[in-house]
Amino acid sequence: MIVRPFTPADYLPTLEAMRAFTGARNDATPDEIWLIEHPPVFTQGLAGRSEHVLAPGEIPVIRTERGGQVTYHGPGQVVAYTLLDLRRHRLGVRDLVCRLEAATIETCAASGVRALRKPGAPGLYVADATGGPGPKIASLGLKVSRGCAYHGIALNVAMDLEPFERIHPCGYAGLQVTDLARAAGGPPPDPAAVARRFGDTLAAHIERP
């Protein structure tokens, strides 16, 4: 599996590149993980509803074919696009979701943050004072075409979280959002360093038997 280095990139050209890569791949095409930091952008999933976008202001809203509702991408976030042949790994979509979530939990733990799953709500949440799922720290959305997955998972590392207040994150009014910097306390983590760890951890979880 090829893990591409963490790099800044506009969202729309990245989306078009994912579509082209997936459309052109064959049985010999290596799987890839792209680690990206986007300028501010809201993205709507396939079933995204306009009422969940409250006040985007100057931030563009782009509709995509991934699952899920609206989310925000911006500086200080690591987006991992997982371009995978699911048949090669003998994975179903739910299996892939579980592995992406497990890799994210491990990455958060390396920064001293306990992240949890929440039944019926894909993505990861920071444990609250009761040990249950609290604010959301990672969002997940996938698309599968001809047995190959693309899109992926976004981990909030050290962000300006204000844009999340302009939407109902993932379609949930009032959903609280956080990042590793706030959840861990102390000096903000370096997104590039987190991205390197995240990419390696994702590859290890996807490739395990």
Where in the sequence numbering do the catalytic residues fall?
170
Nearest CA to 99 among 156, 142, 65, 44? 142
> Residue 161 — left, alpha, or beta (φ > 0 → left; ψ -120 to 50 → alpha)?
alpha
**CB-count burial class (<10 Å; 0-12, 13-18, 19+) for 202:** buried
* 186 in Cβ contact with 179 (< 8 Å): no
* Dist. CA 208–CA 99, nearest whole Å: 9
| Angle, alpha carbons 62-36-40 (nearest 5°) | 40
CA distance 20 to 15: 9
Is the C-alpha dihedral spanning 100, 145, 119, 138 positive or negative? positive
